[in-house]
Chain A
Amino acid sequence: MHKLIPLDALAQGRAAKIGRLEGCPKQVKRLEEMGMRCGSSIEVVRCGRPCIIRVGCNRLCFRRHEMVNVWVRELDSRLELAPQP
């Protein structure tokens, strides 16, 4: 099991799962409503500021913000992303 790393540290093209969302509860909730929640699969399609991420089956443009921190756990392969039958 990999340890939690900030989303910024996730390399482009690498797959991960969201481990923890930290910060202002109101803003964390906004992200969750858009599908960024604990356990969601996440992949950095394009890194940078803003970055493009794929969360579940959504493609999102996201600008890192001082009020929320997204922590992710890297997966070994993309196969782990597949939903359990």
Chain B
Amino acid sequence: MTTHDRAGFTVAMLGNPNTGKSTLFNGLAGVHQRVGNYPGVTVEKRVGQARFGRHRLTLIDLPGTYSLAPQSPDEMVAVDVLLGRQSDVAIPDVILCIVDAGNLERNLYLVSQALELERPVVVALNMMDLANQRGVQVDVPQLADRLQVPVIPLQAHRKIGLEALKQALLEAVSGQTPKESTPFPEAFRDEVMRLHQWLQDRFGQRVPRYLVKRLLLDTDGYVSRTKQWRGDGDLRRYLREARERLAAAGVQVPAIETTRRYQWVDGILNGIVTRPVQVGSTVTDHIDRLLTNRIVGTVVFLALMALVFQAIFTWTTPVNELIQRAEAGLGDWVTATLSPGMLRSLLVNGVIAGVGAVLAFLPQIATLFFFIAVLEDCGYMSRAAYLMDGLMARVGLSGKSFIPLVSSFACAVPGIMAARVIEDRRDRLVTILVAPLMSCSARLPVYILLISAFIPHRPLLGRWLGLQSATIIVLYGLGILVAIVVASLLKRTLLKGETPPFIMELPDYRVPLPRVVLARVLEQCRTFVRNAGTLILAVTVLVWAAAYFPHPNGLETRMRAEFSTEAAALDSQIKALEMLDRTGGTQSASKSDASGSRRLLDDLKGQQATLESTISNRIAGAYMEQSFLGRLGKLIAPIVRPLGWDWRIGCAVIASFPAREVVIGAMGVIYNLGDGQDEHSVSLSEHLRRETWPGTNRPVFTVPVALSVMVFFALCAQCAATLIMIRRETGKWRWALFTFVYMTALAYLGALMTYQIGTRILG
């Protein structure tokens, strides 16, 4: 077909990691890009648009890979996209292979696979400048001649060569579809042909020849485990026999693939690439001497982590306060504008609170991904993974899990999002599943409230460590300890399987590109709002509804009636004084009399205001008690009783499902203090201490109860956003449910043990 037939075409971008593929994609697509997920897997789907003259290019950026020999569903996506088998993207008209000019041997291995896909291929020879600096020279025309595809030299980070590249892509589309080129011996080609025919006879459909090769080459590869062929005994038998025939002909599977492809690469490169005679130390080597040093490197890494942690923890506070203030302001405005009723309550406590809950995560996400993007783009991230690998290997994970887990101390949501850097599916899953056990910043208000109310301010280790700080440290430690145990258990049971050898490239250091960093931050924020935002809002509204309905009429009147005599007495006293003030004040009373009655009046008015707020708080509390949530709290009272909790604590814990920090506000309502409570409010902690079991003078909150609540919060999964993110990043609700169940079970058990042992020790 000719270029005149169509105004747009699709380009799939393929390449090794660290070849500047993302930089090229950003350079070509600019802001015209969308990032999503391929269905059912956690492979990022990046689609961009670019223009070339009157032609529209749709760019599909595939994840960086060293080979197209899929071993997992994630790796299968790239093959499916390239072969046009992925239904949600168009079949590519041309494959763009991005290769690092300084590292052609390994990069051309992937190119040799791409050439077998029977699609037009264009090779972009990126990072020419860096290769030249290192003394590597490539004869580009010769290389193109031998590969029989266009080769375009490129400097993607400076946007040099992009026009020539687009021209080459356009010409490749309008040219002939190339004949398959293959480095394999004849015996293998025959076997491919035979299997191809066999599959067509058996299943009645044409299978792409590349997949036929994969079936033969990958012993226990993912292609044979796809839905199409999984569990097919005949195919398995056929493949075994075919491999035996090949072995008899001297073709060893799977070794034949690497041997032949590298032979082909050596043949292509022979005589057209010149390299420096002596490999000298580069800038990267010098930096690495420090940064990968066990002691210096670890110190630098920990300092960096402290900075990142500090940034997420404290730098985001002003922004979060701004969001909270805006939320409160908007809530007040709605309260003042609308008349009391369901709509107002829904808007203030459901919608505005829900939107606030979503926005509250954005500063953390933006900050964390700013650092991650900078550290990744400059090449440091893999050094961090190297340094932490020894430690993480003990739990059965790799160094790549460290950053997501540390980030989770600030907030598990960005932490879980950051787990994408882990290629190994099982490692990624384990990391995601234990990340919510790290004590996040939302747990801190709960700790602070209960610790300041119940843990005595007493020195433990001189003036260095007080009992209160020690309690916080223990709670953080508890999360870590449980995470270690759970991760080890998961790796040994549910997510058991052979771990591939851990091998990771340490790319050259370079200055991060601001546009790459910015694009990454914006993309993560957008992803979160779009994917988790609506669900978080929905959950908040749902919990609001549970706390609001059935909202019987007459409850308020009844509550007011209880206080009617008191209120009426105050009212008449005030009225009488006011009357006196107006009439008598001018006539005869002395000055001291007047000021005395005014003081009395102010005092009475104060009493009236207090009474009014007591009444409205009591009403709110009464509504909560009779709401579905309150009934649920009473229903689970026997279950939480062994933890030392009364129904109100149980109720507050359920109410905190959308977000942990909500528990404080919920306690405020349940304990008739109104909802404006925070962790520093004296009245709430005072009130908690005074609260007694109904009909007795036994306090509800004792030290063991406070500890039991804190341990519960340290381990529980009371965070809708986290669970929604787990669902998104694992592709399955099953894992979100699993996390909720195992964490809640552990939290219950932990709280139970704390209370039971605590009461025995402390009496």
Contacts and interface: CB of A to CB of B under 8 A. Distances in A.
Contacts of B67: 33
Nearest to B71: A26
B389 A33 contact: no
Nearest to B504: A61
Nearest to B220: A26
Contacts of A29: 69, 254-255, 257-258
A49 to B, nearest CB: 6
Interface in B498-540: 498-507
23 contacts: A25-B254, A26-B254, A30-B501, A31-B501, A32-B262, A33-B69, A33-B109, A33-B258, A34-B66, A48-B390, A50-B390, A52-B292, A52-B386, A58-B505, A59-B284, A59-B506, A61-B502, A61-B503, A62-B504, A65-B501, A67-B498, A81-B279, A82-B275
Contacts of A65: 499-502
B613 interface: no
Contacts of B498: 24, 67
B255 A25 contact: yes
A79 B275 CA distance: 13
A68 B278 contact: no
B415 interface: no
Given A34-B66, A50-B502, 5 more contacts: A58-B103, A61-B506, A62-B503, A63-B398, A78-B278
Interface of A: 24-37, 45-46, 48-50, 52, 54, 56-65, 67-68, 78-79, 81-83
Contacts of B505: 34, 58-61
B292 A46 contact: yes
Contacts, number: 113
A45 B293 CA distance: 11
B399 to A, nearest CB: 8
A84 B279 CA distance: 14
A58 to B, nearest CB: 6
8 closest A-B pairs by CB = A65-B501, A63-B502, A32-B258, A35-B106, A33-B67, A59-B506, A61-B386, A61-B504
B501 A68 contact: yes
A2 B275 CA distance: 26
Interface residues of B, number: 44
Interface of B: 66-67, 69, 71, 102-103, 105-106, 109, 218-220, 254-255, 257-258, 262, 275, 277-279, 284-285, 288, 292, 294, 382, 385-386, 389-390, 393, 398-399, 498-507
Contacts of A59: 284, 288, 505-507
A32 to B, nearest CB: 4
Contact of A37 (B258, B292, B294, B398): B258
Contacts of B386: 50, 52, 61
Nearest to B113: A33
Nearest to B379: A59
Contacts of B504: 60-62
A63 B279 CA distance: 24
A35 B103 CA distance: 10
A46 B386 CA distance: 11
Contacts of B279: 54, 57, 78, 81-82
A67 B498 CA distance: 9
Contacts of B385: 61
A25 B217 CA distance: 11
Nearest to A84: B270
Contacts of B278: 78-79, 82
A31 to B, nearest CB: 6
Nearest to A29: B254
Nearest to B136: A57
Contact of A61 (B254, B277, B389): B389
Contact of B503 (A24, A34, A37): A34
A82 B262 CA distance: 18
Contacts of A62: 501-504
B621 to A, nearest CB: 58
Contact of A82 (B277, B292, B382): B277
A74 B69 CA distance: 32
A45 B398 CA distance: 20
A37 B260 CA distance: 12
B106 A25 contact: no
A80 B110 CA distance: 28
A20 B69 CA distance: 22
A45 B532 CA distance: 44
B223 to A, nearest CB: 13
A26 B504 CA distance: 17
Interface centre among A27, A32, A49, A52 (most CB of B within 10 A): A32
A52 B262 CA distance: 23
A58 B503 CA distance: 12
Contacts of A60: 503-506
Contacts of B103: 56-58
B501 A63 contact: yes
A25 B219 contact: yes
Nearest to A57: B103
Contacts of A58: 103, 106, 505
A22 to B, nearest CB: 12
Contact of B500 (A27, A36, A52, A56): A27
A28 B105 CA distance: 18
B93 to A, nearest CB: 27
Contacts of B69: 29, 33
Contacts of B105: 35, 56
B219 A83 contact: no
Nearest to A64: B501
Contacts of A28: 255
B306 to A, nearest CB: 23
A76 to B, nearest CB: 15
Interface centre among B105, B285, B501 (most CB of A within 10 A): B501
B257 A34 contact: no
A48 B105 CA distance: 27
B401 to A, nearest CB: 13
Contacts of A79: 277-278
A57 B135 CA distance: 12
Contacts of B255: 25, 28-29
Interface centre among A29, A37, A81 (most CB of B within 10 A): A29
